[in-house]
Amino acid sequence: MSKKPIILGIESSCDETAASIITENEQGIPIVLSNIISSQDEIHKKFGGVVPELAARSHIEKIDWIVKKAINDSGIKINEINAVASTAGPGLVVCLSVGLSFGKSFAAAMNIPFISVNHLEGHALSPKLNSKLDYPYLLLLISGGHSQYLSVRGLGSYRRLGTTIDDALGEAFDKTAKLLGIKFPGGPQIEILAEKGDPKKFKLPKPIFNKGGCNLSFAGLKTAILKISKNIKNQQDRYDIAASFQKTIEDILEKKTQVAFNEFESVNRLKNKIFVVAGGVAANKRIRSMLIKICNENNYKHIFPPINLCGDNAAMIAMVGLEKFKIKKFNNLDYPAKPRWPLDENALFLKGAGVIL
């Protein structure tokens, strides 16, 4: 075990302060030795969303303790760490700067390599934490800030097939929850409320459902929920809105995933068809169940990270760091925070949407 690389990962892109220590076994599969996450839900709850300045202050207050706990819980000694990997983007720049600065300082003090990591790449490769994953594979990344279909060809090699032209899916869940009077972060509660509702009670829009390839749009859906929510009369109405919203999202993802399958197969030579779903919304059990069904119908192997690794965490950052460490892809200590940092650098402009993403 001691001969294998040991990587410290640090994540602070939004409102989770996280640190993790990972290594790998003899088969080259990453092993998580510790994974510490400190949430800021209580801090931001009364504001109904993340306040960047408060998030950054909390990161500053916690990060030293979080890293120490990750090292202590891992059972390794500090001088056994071979490299530090920190999230450099995308995210809130004031938050990114905290983890990035700490990681650089740690690397300099210990005289070990520093590795910058794209947060999205962490999600993209997170299933490798518990399984041997072969390239290429189709990735659906659905989180609070991102909704994308990507062809993953290898470390650092990504092609975006589709993305949201407005709101991210996790954002749509959180905004819907807020309209229903659920405190932040309310997105995960939608699925619970939906179990008690009638999914056919409200007919909700499905923006660009039959056009736009596998691009996604959720802003119109959110506007429809806003109008309906003004006439809520009782708790059952909330259940029915939640159920109708959940079902509409499932219908959209089912249709767009089928389109993504076709596009993925058209741009890759495939020995095996693999579909990976990552990001915080991947924890939604009903969405998982629907996606597993469509995978089975299309002969795709489906892979999801463990529920505890769907949201933002440092284990996925450390894992990308491990992959980069093995090919000696290190960064200088003046590497900047990148609040906007797409995985596919050639897909900045979305044709037809008229917006820069």
Pair 112, 250 in one domain: no
Does 76 map to a domain?
yes
Residue pair 19/67 in contact (Cβ under 8 Å)? The answer is yes
Q: Closest by alpha carbon to 147, among 350, 338, 308?
A: 350
What is the residue range of 95's domain?
7-130+308-343
DSSP letter (8 states) at residue 310: T
Tens digits of per-residue pLDDT, 239-255? 999 999 999 999 999 99
Pair 196, 259 in one domain: yes
Residue pair 243/193 in contact (Cβ under 8 Å)? The answer is yes
Q: What is the pLDDT of residue 310?
A: 87
Q: What is the pLDDT of residue 39?
A: 85
Give 178's contacts (C-beta < 8 A, 6+ positions apart).
48, 184, 186
Pair 91, 228 in one domain: no
Pair 178, 255 in one domain: yes
Does 57 map to a domain?
yes
Query: What is the per-residue burial (b if ≥16 Cβ within 10 Å, else e) of 18-31?
Result: bbbbbbbeeeeebe
Residue pair 150/343 in contact (Cβ under 8 Å)? The answer is yes
Residue pair 302/277 in contact (Cβ under 8 Å)? The answer is yes
Tens digits of per-residue pLDDT, 70-120? 999 999 999 999 999 999 999 999 999 999 999 999 999 999 999 999 999
Pair 183, 289 in one domain: yes
CA distance 73 to 193: 36
CATH code where residue 16 lies: 3.30.420.40
Query: What is the per-residue burial (b if ≥16 Cβ within 10 Å, else e) of 33-46?
Result: bbbbbbebeeebee
Pair 52, 192 in one domain: no
Helix (H) or strand (E) holding 53: helix 52-74
Pair 175, 274 in one domain: yes
Q: With a cut of 50, which residues of the chain have pLDDT below it? A: 1, 349-357
